[in-house]
Structure 1
Amino acid sequence: MSEQSQTPQGTVADAVKGNWVDTIAPAWSRPYLRLSRADRPIGTWLLLLPCWWSLLLAMLSTNTASWYDLWIAVGCAAGAFLMRGAGCTWNDITDRKIDAQVARTRSRPIPSGQVTTKQAAAWMAIQSLVSLGILLTFPPFAIALGVLSLGPVAIYPFAKRFTWWPQVFLGIAFNWGALVGWAAHTGSLSAAPVILYFAGIWWTLFYDTIYAHQDTEDDALIGVKSTARLFGEQSAQWLRRFLVLTVLFAMAATILATLDRNPLSLVVALCGVWALGWHLMWQLTRFAPEDNDRLLMLFRSNRNAGLIPVLFFACALLI
């Protein structure tokens, strides 16, 4: 029995139950919102959080804050929602044949017949254009960085066809905001945001390897590569390495960004990084590669993990 026959209203298998798309969105809009993963907001958070980390560290570094920074934060949030939606739509277009063969994804809008490929492409273009409008309100250097991000976004859906490390390509695309957020505030880049960018990539390798374990059996049957399949029984050891690298790189970026502030501000900011590491360790202790419900819960918990540094960085600004 297909996922679509089990979900007569077209709901997607791994969506949050009772989400707003399935319950209150107009019926005509639901397939498009599902293409954008609006029924699964975790991806928007994971795209947004490196932007906020970087913006807050840039404010700590320059010891300046303005109302325009509030717009940067809001613009990054709107842009994350739109570009995540456009990227997911592009991913579903390129993966439509693969998705039809995987239990977790065959209920998505294109393989389940809720929308056509042409309709999906038009929706992707609309989201991209609105996102571009937001990006154009940022400084020129940030705009250029935002445009450059389209390269990794375009390549990512094909990565699992030619490398065992598609999560690296996801990390390159998903953490681009660590560069854009800093550049939007300062108009330039320095070592701190670049190191933070790599911290985000290690973090992505951590959470998306957990996520990819949901599909290892189907991926093996159809020949799709992933770090989950590559690591196999050694996944927990690799996750521990990614955890340590995430914390070390984030600490280095935080120290560089707060060198000219008082020591208490630095300690508070570092506490946010250490608390992030604690949360990742909590996830690792509960990692169960054969339990898909547990895997999905752990993956989604990375929203809370990523919000921890946001809270501490914001507190450090007040010191």
Structure 2
Amino acid sequence: MSEQLPAKHEMGLSNGQVADAVRGHWVDTWLPVAFRPYARLSRLERPIGWWLLLWPCLWSMTLAVATTDSSHHPDVLTILWYGVAFWLGAVVMRGAGCTYNDLVDHKIDGMVERTRSRPLPSKQVTRVHAWGWLVLQALIGLFVLLQFNSYTIWLGFASLAVVAIYPFMKRITHWPQLVLGLAFSWGGLVGWTAITGVLAPAPVLMYIACAVWTIGYDTIYAHQDKEDDVMIGVKSTALLFAENTKIWLSVFYGVMVILMACALVVSGVSWPAFVGLAAATVQMGWQIKRLDINNAAQCLALFRSNTQIGWILFAGLLASIWI
């Protein structure tokens, strides 16, 4: 299925389409027309968001299974169910986060060419209905969270404080990507505690590594909107780093690799995980080499390529379980 986005000048959209949405997606072809604006509020046509939210969960959970005493693990079927639960939680909580972000930013979105046709600024959905949709997604997320042990449940609730403040950060700091990283990487903690019931140095190191990784890939993403951001007066690391973005990406991705390696060493995981990390490092280097910060389409493509890092690291950790 094509993921070709429309050109920026294609603003004559029909059937409630959104300028920065993926064209020809099942949201626009299979869903009832009345539900499509809500699906777009949740960015269901753009799975990269929930993949990036899911990967820290799966990495951390797999690392815990690979490196801790199996007598303290849940049974295999329960672990598989946890994987499914993390997927469902990533989808609905990413959707809830996007809905909340749109509620906070609907006036800003109305001034940005890429986002002005989104459901709220284009009045496809009322704010009251958007809040209702947010609550429904949050309730599903709560159901998912309650499947885990009490330690993980309380740890999951703690993430809400970071999630709540994120949409406001672009108004006061050039580092909203840091706050996004702290929120998006929470799975690096709860994936481990879902298996072990307690935190340890390895998942904390993984959490910080994922947060730094998020700053890197979301800086690439933010370069799509830098002209509009300057006009509106909102901030981002893309504007802060500007022509030095490649240097900063090298720093963030480098720190991510070092911290992830430390997490693997501390946990005592076997060698395939390190092979996976080495391959992921090559992919990050390819991103930096390819990046043209003035090419919005390329920035989006490179941002999306970060799910490859997820698969590579996950494959290495899975191989470690068997070896």
- Shorter-chain-normalised TM-score: which range? over 0.9
Q: How does 1:233-312 map to 2 (within 5 A)?
A: 233-258=243-268, 266-312=270-316
Contact 1:36 1:85 in 2 (8 A): yes
1:55 aligns with 2:65: no
Partner-residue secondary structure (3-state), 2:171: helix
The offset of 1:14, in angstroms, is 2.1
SS of the residue aligned with 1:89?
helix
2:164 aligned with 1:146, yes or no?
A: no
The answer to whether the Cα contact below 8 Å between 2:96 and 2:134 also exists between their aligned partners in 1 is: yes
Equivalent of residue 116 in structure 2, options 103, 106, 129: 106
Q: What's the CA shift for 1:72?
A: 1.0
What residue number does 2:209 align with? 199
Structure 1 residue aligned with 2:3:
none
Q: Which residue of 2 aligns with 1:122?
A: 132
The letter for the 2-side match of 1:54 is S
Q: 1:4 to 1:128 in 2, by over 3 A?
A: farther
Residue equivalent to 1:35: 41
1:214 to 194, 215, 224: 224
Hey, what does 2:192 align to over in structure 1?
Answer: 182
User: CA–CA distance in 1 between the matches of 2:63 and 2:22?
Assistant: 32
Determine if contact 1:3/1:107 at 8 Å carries over to the other structure: no
TM-score (norm 1): 0.95
Q: Report the TM-score, using the length of structure 2 for normalisation.
A: 0.94
The residue aligned with 1:317 is: 321
Offset of residue 16 of structure 1:
2.3
Give the number of aligned pairs: 312
Runs of 5+ unmatched residues, structure 1: 260-265
**Structure 1 contact 3–13 (Cα < 8 Å) conserved:** no
Structure-1 separation of matches of 2:32 and 2:268 = 47
1:11 Cα offset (Å): 1.9
| TM superposition shift of 1:98 | 0.3
Alpha-carbon distance in structure 2 between the residues aligned to 1:316 and 1:63: 14
Is contact 2:95–2:137 with CA below 8 Å preserved after alignment? yes
Q: Identity, % of aligned pairs?
A: 49
Q: Which runs of 4+ in 1 moved over 6 A?
A: none
2-structure distance, mates of 1:23, 1:194: 42
Indicate how the Cα distance of structure 1 residues 222 and 195 shifts in structure 2: closer, same or farther if over 3 A, else same.
same
Structure 1 residue 258, shift from structure 2 partner: 2.0
> C-alpha separation between the residues in 2 aligned to 1:13 and 1:257?
45
Say yes or no: does 1:93 pair with 2:103: yes
Distance (Å, rounded) in 1 between the aligned partners of 2:174 and 2:261: 28
Q: 1:279 to 1:5 in 2, by over 3 A?
A: closer
Root mean square deviation, CA, Å: 1.3
CA separation in 1, counterparts of 2:16 and 2:108? 19
Q: Aligned partner of 2:255: which letter?
A: L
Shift of residue 211 of structure 1?
0.2
The letter for the 2-side match of 1:299 is: F
The alpha-carbon deviation at position 4 of structure 1 amounts to: 8.8
Which of these residues, 31, 43, 50, is aligned with residue 25 of structure 1?
A: 31
User: Aligned partners of 2:25 and 2:122: how far apart in 1?
Assistant: 19
